[in-house]
Chains A and B, each alone.
Chain A
């Protein structure tokens, strides 16, 4: 409990101070609500439409989690494959790095044509942006295994599978978890951008559509509320990855001790 309070205390204090300063600024400078709403206005907008916003958050959260899960599986598998072959590494890695250079906003309309409207295009969008960090961190981790340990495994004539599962993967785990943490946040961005072009409107609207509709209606308070909820989704995914990292590394790696 003490440890949890110690971890949450500083960020909560900073967030509280920022919100207080923001609200005081709004009270004293009185900008029009369409321009900059205060935290009180944003909270009011959230409370007046909470069931719809929470349902939207659930839809976006599911799409982001699915996209992240796919990216985690595909990224770590592909990274492992590339680490095993210099030829594949040289041939595929530059192409894979294109994933982070292609502007997702330009690609997103094509995803609708390929996958149709709704969840599949959103999941694909989340997966595309989350894939590269996982792939790169997996590859980096597997290439950075201690040469002394490698020699020892070779000396004992360990098989390829044993070298991967007992040496490569544990050594690369801290690096892979770092990539997964980055990917967790990116997957939410990917999901929201995907929803901009593929999300259903009306009663089934996810956060991306809520944001677009609120922008057109000049409901800046609602935009901030929806953006805040998408950040909550990102924090939740980040928290899950961090918990898994702690469980996996707590007994031996300095980053989790």
Chain B
């Protein structure tokens, strides 16, 4: 996975914090593991207020759907493509009834020849 400290769009400068980072309780609340009632301190409540606003904005983004013309555009672009190729054929040996019968006959023939030669 990507190194989390060296992303391509890493900040130009270190991020300076005005307040302490979200407490484990705030993180648990944001993860849905705790209710907001469990945020005891004023700092936690202030942080929760900020995250309520951020989550509300994120929820707006969540409502966005693919523009209708995009699905049509994708489907139209497929018509210019050749039919999708079949998956690569298996290259391993497959034992069928015919190959088993032929193989058996060959082994019997070789055995018969060797036996005939030994007897002579």
The answer to whether A and B assemble together is no
- A interface, CB within 8 angstroms of B: none
